[in-house]
Structure formats: C-alpha cells, structure tokens
Amino acid sequence: MDHVWSRGPVSAEDCRTALDTTWPMKDSTIRTVLRRLEAKGYVSHEVDGRTFRYRAVDAPVAVATRAVRQLIDRFCGGSAETLMLGLVSEDVIGARDLERIQQRIAAAKKAGK
C-alpha cells in the first residue's frame, strides 16, 4: 500500500519492481495481493491498454482509522476508552503523546467538531 499511496496509479509490475529488494515476489503473487486489496476495498483499478493500474481508494489515515475501529470492536468490546487505557498501561502511548492528544481534542472541541 505504501507504494500505491506514494506513486499514484501503479501497475502490478511497478509494485513488484519496487518491492523486489525488500520483499521479492513473483508476478502472479503481486497480482493476487492487488486483487485481494481490491476485494477488501483498499485499491481500485482502471485498465490502460492491457495493463491494470491500481490506485488507493482512501488516504493512509482513513485506512488506519478503519483498522483501529475493527480492533476496538473485536478486542475491546467496542470501547475506544478500553483501547486507550490499554495503550497507556502498556507504555505504547507516553505522557508526551497524551498531552498532545489532549491539546488536539481541546482544539477540536473548540472548533465544534
């Protein structure tokens, strides 16, 4: 997904070449991965001649937010508070992060969001 987000519409070959040094895959494998990403709604494609060109459907933050929502529903009984408390107690989120989050929440409230 990082390659698709950073490069815009890409072919399977573009992705395979970009990933070759860190995660080498056969052409058929990368095509399968892209088809699965499309089936899950992460990418869409358009046909350019005989080449499928894939583009991201959503921005990275939207995809991350959707994934976190799934984690909250699956592991925290739908409670974002439970997730946040777990992140704090496990030292995933530190005091500095909490302070910045509080400031951003206060600013969003002030802006009426």
Fold of 2-56: Arc Repressor Mutant, subunit A (1.10.10)
3-state secondary structure 39-88: HCCCEEEEEECCEEEEEECCCHHHHHHHHHHHHHHHHCCCCHHHHHHHHH
Q: CA 3 to CA 21: how far, in whole Å?
A: 13
pLDDT score, position 13 = 95
State how beta strands 43-48 and 51-56 pair.
antiparallel
Nearest to 28 by CA among 14, 42, 12, 50: 12
pTM for this entry = 0.74
- pLDDT tens-digit readout, 38-92: 999 999 999 999 999 999 999 999 999 999 999 999 999 999 999 999 999 999 9
Residue 73 tokens, joined: 């529903």
